[in-house]
Chain A
Amino acid sequence: DARVTQTPRHKVTEMGQEVTMRCQPILGHNTVFWYRQTMMQGLELLAYFRNRAPLDDSGMPKDRFSAEMPDATLATLKIQPSEPRDSAVYFCASATDETTEAFFGQGTRLTVV
């Protein structure tokens, strides 16, 4: 059963600490999305990659957020330093040109205290 895997599922950290969230896309999917979900803003697109290259990260605060794909099986989203306003659920999703829809992971619930 192919699925997008995100780790960790939950993360509680103190303000100022670095946070790294990981995503394993479905094998063979060449597009990866990062979304952030909050009550106030809903689902916001932070960044997306195609064939490991970042195509759009305009939704991401550049000063503290960074997204990478070290290889085709791993995408990372880092926040350094973290702030309480970063508390949210972060979703990774993957897709291919053939599938046309995005398949979502279960998310990482981040709490910054």
Chain B
Amino acid sequence: AQSVTQPDIHITVSEGASLELRCNYSYGATPYLFWYVQSPGQGLQLLLKYFSGDTLVQGIKGFEAEFKRSQSSFNLRKPSVHWSDAAEYFCAVGAWGGSYIPTFGRGTSLIVHP
């Protein structure tokens, strides 16, 4: 069965600093990987996804993620964080079951200091 580990429960950065959120996955086949963001009281919004091809994926809001098969990782990065990026971030691996069924990590809460 697939699983996702996000080792950091909370991450605190200063506004303008760079950000990297870690994600490790376990899946027996080629993984389909996603990063979602959840603002307080809201649903989950897709930031980016990886299915195949270029291992560096660009997403919305200036985020990118790099798929590293050898490390089973799909870390999310942003070069300069804005206060509005404060939110909960979820990594997910999708297993094909007629559609892509996302299994989520526990999430990383991003705190941004002014």
Residues of A participating in the B interface, judged by any CB pair closer than 8 Å: 4, 30-31, 33, 35, 42-43, 45, 48, 50, 55-56, 91, 93, 95-97, 100-107
Contacts of B94 in A (CB 8 A): 100-101
Bound complex: CA A48 to CA B101 (Å): 9
Contact of A107 among B43, B98, B102, B103 (CB under 8 A): B43
Contacts of A100 in B (CB 8 A): 32, 49, 51, 94, 99-100
Bound complex: CA A97 to CA B94 (Å): 12
Contact of B49 among A48, A50, A101 (CB under 8 A): A101
A50 with B99: CB separation less than 8 A: yes
Bound complex: CA A97 to CA B36 (Å): 19
Closest CB in chain B relative to A111 CB, distance in Å: 14
B43 with A105: CB separation less than 8 A: yes
B44 with A97: CB separation less than 8 A: no
Max chain A CB contacts within 10 Å: which of B104, B105, B107?
A: B104
A4 with B100: CB separation less than 8 A: no
**A55 and B100 in contact, given A91-B43, A101-B34, A106-B42 (Cβ under 8 angstroms):** no
- Mark B11-39 against chain A: 1 for CB-CB distance below 8 A, else 0: 00000000000000000000010101000
Contacts of A30 in B (CB 8 A): 99
B106 with A42: CB separation less than 8 A: yes
Contacts of B100 in A (CB 8 A): 95, 100-102
A104 with B44: CB separation less than 8 A: yes
Residues of B participating in the A interface, judged by any CB pair closer than 8 Å: 32, 34, 36, 41-46, 49, 51, 90, 94, 97-107
Closest CB in chain A relative to B65 CB, distance in Å: 14
Contact of A56 among B34, B44, B97, B107 (CB under 8 A): B97
Contacts of A91 in B (CB 8 A): 43-44
Bound complex: CA A107 to CA B88 (Å): 15
Bound complex: CA A113 to CA B46 (Å): 33
Bound complex: CA A105 to CA B38 (Å): 11
B51 with A42: CB separation less than 8 A: no
Bound complex: CA A42 to CA B4 (Å): 12
**A102 and B102 in contact, given A42-B107, A56-B97 (Cβ under 8 angstroms):** yes
